[in-house]
A = this chain, B = another copy of it.
Amino acid sequence: MTSTQRTHADQLAEPWSGVPEWLRVRGLRWTPQRRLLIEVLSGIDGHVTGADLVERCRMLDPETTPSTVYRTLDVLEEIGLVQHGHGADGREEYHVLPAVEHGHLYCGNCGAVEEISEGEVAAVVELFDSRHAFAVDGSHITIVGRCGSCLSASRA
Protein backbone atom coordinates (compact mmCIF):
# COMPACT_ATOMS: atom_id res chain seq x y z
CA MET A 1 0.00 0.00 0.00
CA THR A 2 1.72 3.09 -1.24
CA SER A 3 -1.47 5.16 -1.21
CA THR A 4 -1.86 8.06 1.19
CA GLN A 5 -3.37 6.44 4.21
CA ARG A 6 -4.88 8.31 7.10
CA THR A 7 -4.96 6.68 10.48
CA HIS A 8 -7.67 7.51 12.97
CA ALA A 9 -5.09 9.43 14.97
CA ASP A 10 -5.38 12.10 12.30
CA GLN A 11 -9.12 12.58 12.61
CA LEU A 12 -9.79 16.20 13.34
CA ALA A 13 -12.97 18.19 13.71
CA GLU A 14 -14.30 19.64 10.51
CA PRO A 15 -12.63 22.90 9.58
CA TRP A 16 -9.30 21.49 10.68
CA SER A 17 -9.35 18.12 9.01
CA GLY A 18 -7.58 19.35 5.90
CA VAL A 19 -4.60 20.80 7.70
CA PRO A 20 -2.26 17.79 7.64
CA GLU A 21 -2.86 17.37 3.95
CA TRP A 22 -2.43 21.07 3.25
CA LEU A 23 0.91 20.97 5.02
CA ARG A 24 2.21 17.83 3.37
CA VAL A 25 1.29 19.08 -0.07
CA ARG A 26 3.80 21.87 0.26
CA GLY A 27 6.51 19.83 1.92
CA LEU A 28 5.68 21.03 5.39
CA ARG A 29 5.27 18.62 8.28
CA TRP A 30 2.57 17.32 10.53
CA THR A 31 4.06 17.17 13.99
CA PRO A 32 2.69 16.31 17.43
CA GLN A 33 3.14 19.91 18.50
CA ARG A 34 1.10 21.19 15.59
CA ARG A 35 -1.54 18.59 16.22
CA LEU A 36 -1.77 19.73 19.82
CA LEU A 37 -2.22 23.36 18.87
CA ILE A 38 -4.91 22.46 16.35
CA GLU A 39 -6.66 20.50 19.05
CA VAL A 40 -6.63 23.50 21.34
CA LEU A 41 -7.74 25.85 18.58
CA SER A 42 -10.63 23.63 17.59
CA GLY A 43 -11.99 24.02 21.09
CA ILE A 44 -11.98 27.78 20.88
CA ASP A 45 -14.82 29.93 19.69
CA GLY A 46 -13.97 33.34 18.35
CA HIS A 47 -10.68 34.61 19.64
CA VAL A 48 -7.67 34.02 21.91
CA THR A 49 -4.44 35.69 22.78
CA GLY A 50 -1.17 34.06 21.88
CA ALA A 51 -0.19 33.79 25.51
CA ASP A 52 -3.49 32.10 26.24
CA LEU A 53 -2.86 29.51 23.56
CA VAL A 54 0.58 28.79 24.96
CA GLU A 55 -0.95 28.26 28.36
CA ARG A 56 -3.72 26.00 27.09
CA CYS A 57 -1.22 23.91 25.19
CA ARG A 58 0.90 23.58 28.29
CA MET A 59 -2.10 22.26 30.16
CA LEU A 60 -2.22 19.36 27.73
CA ASP A 61 1.53 19.06 27.29
CA PRO A 62 3.73 20.88 29.80
CA GLU A 63 6.66 20.62 27.40
CA THR A 64 5.07 23.13 25.06
CA THR A 65 7.39 25.91 23.94
CA PRO A 66 6.14 29.42 23.14
CA SER A 67 8.22 29.78 20.02
CA THR A 68 6.74 26.63 18.52
CA VAL A 69 3.22 27.82 19.20
CA TYR A 70 3.80 31.20 17.63
CA ARG A 71 5.56 29.69 14.64
CA THR A 72 2.72 27.29 14.05
CA LEU A 73 0.24 30.12 14.32
CA ASP A 74 2.11 31.81 11.50
CA VAL A 75 1.59 28.88 9.19
CA LEU A 76 -2.04 28.54 10.22
CA GLU A 77 -2.48 32.16 9.36
CA GLU A 78 -1.16 31.45 5.90
CA ILE A 79 -3.82 28.81 5.51
CA GLY A 80 -6.33 31.34 6.73
CA LEU A 81 -7.51 29.35 9.72
CA VAL A 82 -6.48 32.03 12.14
CA GLN A 83 -5.87 35.72 11.74
CA HIS A 84 -4.02 37.82 14.20
CA GLY A 85 -4.84 41.38 15.09
CA HIS A 86 -5.33 43.73 17.96
CA GLY A 87 -7.06 42.69 21.14
CA ALA A 88 -9.37 44.84 23.17
CA ASP A 89 -6.97 44.44 26.07
CA GLY A 90 -4.00 45.41 24.03
CA ARG A 91 -2.24 42.12 23.34
CA GLU A 92 -1.90 40.24 20.13
CA GLU A 93 -5.03 38.30 19.53
CA TYR A 94 -5.85 35.47 17.18
CA HIS A 95 -9.22 35.17 15.55
CA VAL A 96 -10.08 31.56 14.92
CA LEU A 97 -11.81 30.75 11.64
CA PRO A 98 -11.99 34.39 10.53
CA ALA A 99 -13.97 33.40 7.45
CA VAL A 100 -17.06 33.83 9.55
CA GLU A 101 -17.77 37.53 9.83
CA HIS A 102 -18.23 38.42 13.42
CA GLY A 103 -17.28 41.00 15.96
CA HIS A 104 -17.13 41.52 19.66
CA LEU A 105 -18.50 43.85 22.26
CA TYR A 106 -15.82 44.14 24.89
CA CYS A 107 -16.71 45.36 28.35
CA GLY A 108 -13.91 47.62 29.52
CA ASN A 109 -15.08 47.16 33.06
CA CYS A 110 -15.36 43.42 33.63
CA GLY A 111 -13.71 42.12 30.46
CA ALA A 112 -16.79 40.24 29.28
CA VAL A 113 -17.00 39.61 25.56
CA GLU A 114 -20.26 39.43 23.69
CA GLU A 115 -20.62 38.35 20.08
CA ILE A 116 -22.00 40.65 17.44
CA SER A 117 -24.35 39.12 14.91
CA GLU A 118 -23.50 38.99 11.24
CA GLY A 119 -26.28 41.44 10.48
CA GLU A 120 -24.87 44.00 12.83
CA VAL A 121 -21.42 43.55 11.39
CA ALA A 122 -22.91 44.17 7.97
CA ALA A 123 -24.52 47.37 9.20
CA VAL A 124 -21.19 48.68 10.45
CA VAL A 125 -19.39 47.63 7.29
CA GLU A 126 -21.90 49.42 5.14
CA LEU A 127 -21.87 52.55 7.25
CA PHE A 128 -18.22 53.21 6.60
CA ASP A 129 -18.00 51.72 3.17
CA SER A 130 -20.44 54.23 1.76
CA ARG A 131 -19.20 57.35 3.52
CA HIS A 132 -15.46 56.83 3.62
CA ALA A 133 -14.53 54.44 0.85
CA PHE A 134 -13.19 52.35 3.68
CA ALA A 135 -13.47 48.55 3.53
CA VAL A 136 -14.17 47.46 7.07
CA ASP A 137 -12.64 44.16 8.05
CA GLY A 138 -15.71 42.41 9.36
CA SER A 139 -13.71 39.90 11.33
CA HIS A 140 -11.84 42.55 13.28
CA ILE A 141 -14.61 44.66 14.72
CA THR A 142 -14.30 45.22 18.43
CA ILE A 143 -16.45 47.76 20.19
CA VAL A 144 -15.53 48.81 23.70
CA GLY A 145 -18.02 49.90 26.33
CA ARG A 146 -19.95 48.68 29.32
CA CYS A 147 -21.92 45.46 29.30
CA GLY A 148 -25.45 45.14 30.61
CA SER A 149 -24.56 43.65 33.96
CA CYS A 150 -21.91 46.26 34.70
CA LEU A 151 -24.41 48.96 33.77
CA SER A 152 -27.04 47.72 36.15
CA ALA A 153 -24.42 47.11 38.84
CA SER A 154 -23.29 50.73 38.66
CA ARG A 155 -26.90 51.89 38.87
CA ALA A 156 -27.49 49.84 42.02
Contact = CB atoms under 8 A, between A and B. Distances in A.
Main secondary structure of the interface of A (DSSP, over half): mixed
Interface string A82-97: 0001111111100000
A127 B145 CA distance: 13
Contacts of A148: 132-134
A48 interface: no
B131 A120 contact: yes
A86 B90 CA distance: 5
A135 B147 CA distance: 6
Taking the full assembly, how many copies of this chain does it contain?
2
Q: How large is the interface on A (under 10, 10 to 19, 20 to 34, 35 or more residues)?
A: 35 or more
Nearest to A133: B148
Interface string A40-62: 00000000000000000000000
Contact of A86 (B120, B132, B144): B144
A36 interface: no
Given A86-B88, A90-B87, A123-B127, A140 B145 contact: yes
Interface of A: 85-92, 105, 107-108, 114, 116, 120, 123-124, 127-128, 131-137, 140-148, 151
